[in-house]
Chains A and B, each alone.
Chain A
Amino acid sequence: MIAECQATLPANTLASADSGAHRILLSQMWTCAAPRDLIQSSGLCTMGCAVPMAIGRKLASPDRPVVSFSGDAGFLMVAGDLATAAELGVAPIFVVFADASLALIELKQRQRQLSNAGVDMARHDFAAIGRAFGGNGITVRNRAELNKALREALASDRFTVISAEIEPGGYDGRI
């Protein structure tokens, strides 16, 4: 997913990342062309920051592509912010790593030999949430579908939610 986004999105793309396993993997892989091309909450590591940061980035730099990367749980925390994107008429791309898990906390529980508690979640239709707020919404399950979704999102004048469905545990051995 990350390699596909990096390869497909233009080099002048502005990105934001949320907090969780996806952010650790993204930070290891994402290459920036200039300082602050990727912003994240490095201080408090707050979940939910990526979506509003992407809206702000697009508002400030309407001529550059903007993408946010969120976990499914972090995206759910601020899904209502899509209303703001719609009302402002901005068109960032919101990529959701939909693994039906609070993966980073699940990993920490396992590493400390604690039992699994409160970290599994359902699969929600994030693409439909995007459409409900007046944007585009698409669910993808492989790189070719993701590539197509990204190119359509770049060409759209509305925001796009791309829900990339991945298996729980997919971060094991990678972060």
Chain B
Amino acid sequence: MVQKSDLILGLGYDPIEMRPGWRNVWDPRVHRMIDITPEANTHYMHHDSLALISALNPTLAALTSGAGKTATWPCGAPSAAQAALIAAFPHGMTGARPV
């Protein structure tokens, strides 16, 4: 789903301890990825196509001021991914809920 996105935003995203297969999930030569973080990327767990090294709250406030809401993912991929995740694990219980 991330790889199908036309824009990936990393908002304060500062990954550590990424497992093999979870690194460089997107390719900044193919995907548009904007990282907004107060520190420069020295973790090399992913790369961006644009980095804003700045405080998160004022940066987001400046970028979104005057911006209206636009529809994203008309195909509903995020909710489908969420539903698949829920379906992948057991639910329910054996015993009784406390009274």
Contact = CB atoms under 8 A, between A and B. Distances in A.
A112 interface: yes
Contact of A108 (B19, B88, B91, B93): B19
B89 A143 contact: no
B66 interface: no
Interface string A99-110: 000000001100
B20 interface: yes
- Chain B interface size range: 10 to 19
B98 A107 contact: no
Contacts of B91: 3, 6-7
Nearest to A25: B89
A138 to B, nearest CB: 14
Interface of A: 2-4, 6-8, 10, 28-29, 43-45, 107-108, 111-112, 143-144, 147-148, 150-151, 154-155, 174
Given A28-B85, A147-B95, A155-B98, 16 more contacts: A4-B93, A4-B94, A10-B98, A28-B89, A43-B14, A45-B17, A107-B19, A108-B20, A111-B20, A111-B21, A112-B20, A148-B95, A151-B95, A151-B98, A154-B98, A174-B89
